[in-house]
Amino acid sequence: MNITTKLSTKFALLSLFSAALIGCSEQSQERAKETYGDAAESISDNAEKAGESIANAWNEVAEYTVDKKQDFVDAMQASYDDLEAKAADLEESSENVSDETEDMFENAGEAFEDQLEKAGNASEDAWDSTKDGVQEAWNNLVEAYDEMKAEAESS
């Protein structure tokens, strides 16, 4: 999420709060609602783009062999870092994300990191099953992110 979107979101929330607090004119309240709507739409657009990126992350590395183990680990770590940043943006830009969902994402992230560490240390014999473990952990992480995105986009 870029700085403009973050600022728009903060401005929208401040505008709505101000309108409720001091009883602004109807026209001011309408502008605040429009700004909030624009911010919500921006969150939704960014979340959709993130979803496309997430879906492609696994496809890009699924066929890596044990010879490319470190490339696999590096690529998946980069995808995780990107997803984690997007989740942080959702948490910051929306008050709708529950603590339970944040915890679910954090736990899924820890499980993913554990699987990724195992992949980095996997022998040739254990590579396929270890890679399957990473895929399952990635899918759980994406599911947790999708839940977070759905909550962030709800009004």
Q: What pLDDT digit, counting tens, does each position of 57-97 carry?
A: 666 666 777 788 899 899 999 999 999 999 999 999 889 99
Mean pLDDT calculated for residue range 29-45: 53
Write down the pLDDT at residue 30: 61
- CA dist., res. 115 & res. 138, Å (int): 9
Q: What is the pTM of this model?
A: 0.62
Is residue 20 included in any domain, yes or no? no
What is the percent of the chain with per-residue pLDDT over 70, rounded to a whole number?
A: 59
Residue 23, in any domain of the structure: no
Q: What is the 3-state secondary structure (H, E, C) of the chain?
A: CCHHHHHHHHHHHHHHHHHHHHCCCHHHHHHHHHHHHHHHHHHHHHHHHHHHHHHHHHHHHCCCCHHHHHHHHHHHHHHHHHHHHHHHHHHHHCCCCCHHHHHHHHHHHHHHHHHHHHHHHCCCCCHHHHHHHHHHHHHHHHHHHHHHHHHHHCC
Percent of the residues in the chain that have a pLDDT greater than 90, as a whole number: 46
Reported residue count of the chain is 155
The rounded distance, in Å, linking the Cα atoms of 93 and 95 is: 7
> Is residue 147 assigned to a domain?
yes
Residue 60 within any structural domain of the chain: yes
Q: Is residue 145 part of a domain?
A: yes
**pLDDT score of 130:** 93
**CB 114 within 8 Å of CB 74:** no
10 Å CB burial of residue 12 (0-12, 13-18, 19+) is buried
Q: Is residue 108, in this structure, part of any structural domain at all? A: yes
Q: Is 35 inside any structural domain?
A: no
10-33 pLDDT, tens per residue? 444 434 334 444 444 555 556 545
Instruction: Report if residue 29 sits inside a domain.
Output: no
> Which residue range forms the structural domain that includes residue 129?
47-153
Q: Mean pLDDT across the chain, nearest whole number?
A: 76
Q: How many domains does the chain have?
A: 1
